[in-house]
Amino acid sequence: MRSYTKTAIAFIIPPFIILALTVFYPMVYSLYISFHKWDLKSPATIGKFVGLDNYSYVLSSSEFISSLLNTLIIVGISLPISLILSLGIAVLINQKFRGRRILQAVLLIPWAIPSVAGGVIWKWIFNPNYGVVNAILYASGLIEKYIAFFSDPWLARIVVALAFIYKGVPFGALLLLAALQIVPSDIIESAKIDGAGTLRTFINVTWYWIKPSFLVLLVLRTIEAFRLFDEIYVLTYGGPAGATTVLGWQIFLNAFSYLRFDFGSVISYFLAMVTVSLSLIYMKIMGTKEVLGK
Amino acid sequence: MKRRSSVGYSHVAYGARVSRREAISKISAGLGAAVVVAGVGGYLAGNLSAPAKIVERTVTVAGAEKTVTVTAGGKTLPKLTLSAWTYRPDIIESNLKFFSTYYGYPTELVVLPSAGYTAQMVANFTGEKEIDVCYVRDSEFVGWASAGWLVPIEDIAPSDKIKMYKQELSPGALESMTFQGKLYGLPYYGDVMSFLYNAGMLEKIGVSKPPENWDQVTEICLEVKKRLNIETPFWFSGVAVDWGLPRFWQTLTISEGGTLFDEDLKPTWEDKESPAYRAMKWLWDAINVHEIASVKGFEITQEQGGEALAGDPPKGFCLTGFSYILYLLNIPGNFPRSGKENFKQALMPGKTHQTVSYVRLYGITKMAAKRGKDVLNAAWDLVEYLGGKDKVGEYRVMKRWILESGLGFVQLPLYEDPLVKSNIKLWGDPELRSNQLKLSRRESGLGHPGYSEWLQYSTKEIQAAVLKQKSLDEALKNSAEKWKSLLK
């Protein structure tokens, strides 16, 4: 038993060191920065302890509040649609039909495309002068002149949400498909023999089995949605009129454009707290412990 | 800034039927392109006869796994690393090869994406990555210099050289590269906000000369709109990443004899009679009242705006920070319709015809300074070769950029260079470019460390006003308040 423990420790130490250097140290260091003045444009003042001043300044600023609202709007649009679509596609490709394997493979493509490359594709699709969406809408007589999607605050938010949904749905669908495939077929058959319809069978039987996977997906997608950055970087740069300036973009602006690492760290920690809190709430609501039998 | 010139490349489809006029036009364009190629070829051949190289041999140091160059005196020359953004890395590589050949220093090029350049360089500076010379945008220059990331060339280069460059560079560019009284670099390129117009389109509506002031711009645009059925004849780029909107604002203000910030750096636009307020009102009216410009400009970069100028249908006017767009518009092969319209540059409309100048410079990093005096001196040699004169006293690299890409320049003697002048005549007017540079000023406020934050904020506010999310007065008030908060 003792040698087993030693072996375990020997295996754990190398990744722990790597994690400590690449994850824990930067986390602690950025926490430290968030309580100090860290304006790289004023080297003489760097490192001055300011207590909670950075937090009170940033969290009460209009830029932060508007970026928080933008984040909530985009998360609010994209998260439910993303989850519903993932579940729907998973249920669909769980059925036995010809070409199912090909469909599963094709489904992976959006997930495999890097976010930045995907963003560029969306940018072309919605281009105001020669984008295919404009061409289709115009040809079908739905619009009289081409729309500048990224110059309209709401349309820009919707396109960003669309890019986020497109990127994440395949992963979600495959995760839920894996869960669906472990649902015991005899239980489904029993439910049907007892007279349960498709919807009731899904709610009372299938959902019980896929609930843990759905929870995992919900947590992951929520975190991803709050951290949204790549799509903004490629599609809108936070515009128009700041409509897509989300928290992730605000961190980038503060740290790398304004060289205010202190403010960037504050927003990063706020974001981390939000995502951790949401994860805990989800776990509580979904009753993970009961589901997992632990 | 990603498009390559394809001068010398014939895009006439074999077997395609072309009219006589088209044929003459294409032959002329081809001849023009041939002259450009011949000029560049001859110019580079000149480079081959540059001074004899000082390199004795290049050896690889075992263990250290790096190549060093040893001079005849046995001195080891350091390897220099240049970081640049993704505009024509082929030319940059080639320039570095020439530098290595004639100066002896081994070199390495680190190419970073244009849009992410600032973020990656900030990471490189804070992580102290071994980069000795880097591209610097003037909008970020003060921030980087005040962070101590850049070293003044004035502390490294011989004083007579600094004196010479101060005489030969345009005053606006010099000011943009100076921090706390010291010169920090030499220009990679420099340009002015330029007013481009479609001369053929103006002829069609009976206008023989370009507009002299902004009211005339509106009038002509309305006429173009009415008679040629062109929806929005005026193009501008207001995309957030370019900071095109505040720069547009600065340009209109300067052209009317004002500045955005006064001598004490106080915002001037709170006074509704100020040129700064009236400038922004002109843009608001152009989009929302006269409908001669479109909010599509919020998602179009400057180069895309240039491309739209030659689009289908072509546009009438464009205000752009890249005067080389005229090169792209008039030399066939750059844009699909390049060379098919007659695009020209005019002096900036307005009372003073003044405009905004800007510069991109080569800066020497603190990392080079940490590596010692030899590296600093070597970095200066590289900066001077790339942005200044070579050993025979020629602005060789800048000339190459002009000849091959039409980039703007702020080295005043080059405006008198016969090869440069004849090259520019193929697609533009060298005299007018020179005159516009003389009538240019640095953006006011640029020297303040909070300027880039204000640019970002103001872009958002102006966009909101133009999109009628808030009134223009409210947006301008917010912009003024933001600036005041940054001054504290």
- Would you tell me the crossing angle of helices B418-425 and B396-405 to the nearest 10 degrees? 10
Start-to-end CA span in chain A (Å): 25
pLDDT confidence tier of residue A288, bands split at 50, 70 and 90: low
Amino acid at A20: A
CB under 8 A, 24+ apart: contacts of A96-104: A104/A174, A104/A177
Closest CA to A240 of B455, B465, B302: B465
Tens-digit pLDDT string for chain B (488 aa): 333 333 322 222 323 333 444 444 444 444 444 444 444 444 544 444 444 344 444 444 344 444 455 555 556 789 999 999 999 999 999 999 999 999 999 999 999 988 789 888 988 998 899 999 999 998 889 889 988 999 999 999 999 999 999 999 998 899 999 999 999 999 999 999 999 999 988 999 999 999 999 999 999 999 999 999 888 899 888 776 666 788 889 999 999 999 999 999 999 999 999 999 999 999 999 999 999 998 888 887 777 777 777 776 777 787 887 888 888 889 888 887 788 888 999 999 999 999 999 999 999 999 999 999 999 999 999 999 999 999 999 999 999 999 998 899 999 999 999 999 999 999 899 999 999 999 998 888 887 888 888 988 999 999 999 999 999 999 999 999 999 999 88
Closest CA to A151 of B239, B225, B97: B239
Four-residue CA torsion sign, A43, A47, A49, A54: positive
CB proximity list for A237: less than 8 A, separation 6 or greater: A249, B239, B240, B241
In a domain, A14, yes or no: no
Q: Are the beta carbons of B115 and A43 separated by less than 8 Å?
A: no
- What residues pair up with B363 in beta bridges, in sequence order? B134, B185
Q: Please tell me which residue, A182 or B315, carries the higher pLDDT value.
A: A182
Residue whose pair of structure tokens reads 């940490």 in the numeric block: B370
pLDDT of residue B268: 96
Least confident of A80-84, A219-223, B12-16: B12-16
pLDDT of residue A108: 84
In a domain, A42, yes or no: no
* Mean pLDDT (chain A, rounded): 89
Instruction: Flag whether pLDDT at A21 surpasses 70.
Output: yes
In a domain, A9, yes or no: no
Residues of B in contact with A256 (CB under 8 A): 118-119, 122-123
Q: Please tell me which residue, B300 or A208, carries the higher pLDDT value.
A: A208
- A239 → closest Cβ in B296, B457, B463: B463
Structure tokens at A99: 């070409």
Measured between alpha carbons, how far is B364 from B135 in angstroms, rounded to an integer?
9
pLDDT of residue A2: 64
DSSP class of residue B259?
-
What DSSP letter does each residue of B268-290 carry, written as one string? -TTSTTSHHHHHHHHHHHHHHTS
pLDDT of residue B70: 56
CB pairs under 8 A between A and B: 93
Closest CA to B124 of B358, B363, B359: B363
Q: Are the beta carbons of B298 and A240 separated by less than 8 Å?
A: yes
Measured between alpha carbons, how far is B89 from B109 in angstroms, rounded to an integer?
9
Residues of A in contact with B115 (CB under 8 A): 233
DSSP class of residue A264?
H
Assign B133 to helix, strand or coil: strand
Amino acid at A212: P
Instruction: Kindly give the pairing relationship between strand B355-365 and strand B317-320.
Output: unpaired
Structure tokens at B190: 């420099």
- What residues pair up with A10 in beta bridges, in sequence order? none
Four-residue CA torsion sign, A35, A41, A43, A45: negative
User: Testing the interface with B: which of A66, A253, A258 to mutate, by most B Cβ within 10 A?
Assistant: A258
In a domain, A196, yes or no: yes
Closest CA to B58 of B44, B71, B69: B69
CB proximity list for B95: less than 8 A, separation 6 or greater: B385, B386, B397, B400
Measured between alpha carbons, how far is B66 from B189 in angstroms, rounded to an integer?
32
On whether any CB of chain A is under 8 Å from the CB of B311, the answer is yes
In a domain, A93, yes or no: yes
C-beta separation of B325 from B306 below 8 A:
yes
CB atoms within 10 A of CB B21: 8
pLDDT of residue B16: 34
Amino acid at A252: F
| Mean pLDDT, range A274-280, rounded to an integer | 87
Instruction: Give the E-state strand segments of B125-242 in sequence order.
Output: 133-137, 150-151, 178-179, 182-183, 185-192, 194-198, 234-236
DSSP H helices in B49-181: 89-103, 117-127, 138-146, 159-168, 171-176
Mean pLDDT highest for which of A72-81, A87-96, A221-230?
A: A72-81
What DSSP letter does each residue of B405-472 carry, written as one string? H-----BGGGGG-HHHHHHHHTTS-HHHHHHHHHTEEEPTTTTSTTHHHHHHHHHHHHHHHHTTSS-H
Distance from CA of A154 to the nearest CA of B (A): 12
- Please give the residue range of the domain that contains residue A105: 58-286
Instruction: Flag whether pLDDT at A18 surpasses 80.
Output: yes
On whether any CB of chain A is under 8 Å from the CB of B308, the answer is yes
- Would you tell me the crossing angle of helices B89-103 and B373-387 to the nearest 10 degrees? 120
Q: Are the beta carbons of B148 and A43 separated by less than 8 Å?
A: yes
CB atoms within 10 A of CB B355: 28
Distance of CA B428 to the CA centre of its chain: 16
In a domain, A39, yes or no: no
pLDDT confidence tier of residue A91, bands split at 50, 70 and 90: very high
For a pLDDT cut of 90, what percent of chain A falls above it?
A: 57
Q: Are the beta carbons of B467 and A240 separated by less than 8 Å?
A: yes
| Structural domains of chain A, count | 1
DSSP class of residue A39?
B
- B240 → closest Cβ in A63, A238, A259: A238
pLDDT of residue B405: 87
Distance from CA of B81 to the nearest CA of A (A): 22
pLDDT of residue B463: 93
Four-residue CA torsion sign, B415, B419, B423, B429: positive
Q: Are the beta carbons of A240 and B453 separated by less than 8 Å?
A: no
Q: pTM score > 0.90 for this model? A: no
Measured between alpha carbons, how far is A174 from A90 in angstroms, rounded to an integer?
7
Measured between alpha carbons, how far is B78 from B76 in angstroms, rounded to an integer?
6
Measured between alpha carbons, how far is A249 from A229 in angstroms, rounded to an integer?
6
In a domain, A51, yes or no: no
| Mean pLDDT, range A221-238, rounded to an integer | 91
On whether any CB of chain B is under 8 Å from the CB of A258, the answer is yes
Q: Is A252 exposed, middle or buried (0-12, 13-18, 19+ CB in 10 A)?
A: buried
CATH number of the domain within which A188 lies: 1.10.3720.10
* Side-chain-facing half-sphere of B388: CA atoms under 13 Å: 25
CB proximity list for B316: less than 8 A, separation 6 or greater: B197, B198, B201, B202, B220, B221, B224, B230, B233, B234
Measured between alpha carbons, how far is B139 from B146 in angstroms, rounded to an integer?
13
Least confident of A27-41, A55-69, B46-60: B46-60
Q: Are the beta carbons of A42 and B115 separated by less than 8 Å?
A: no
Residues of A in contact with B467 (CB under 8 A): 151-153, 240-241
Distance from CA of B293 to the nearest CA of A (A): 13
Residues of B in contact with A233 (CB under 8 A): 115-116
pLDDT of residue B10: 29
The rounded radius of gyration (Å) of the Cα atoms in chain B is 23
Structure tokens at A288: 């993970």
C-beta separation of A151 from B296 below 8 A:
yes
In a domain, A34, yes or no: no
- B119 → closest Cβ in A63, A153, A256: A256
On whether any CB of chain A is under 8 Å from the CB of B179, the answer is no
pLDDT of residue B458: 92
Measured between alpha carbons, how far is A108 from A168 in angstroms, rounded to an integer?
10
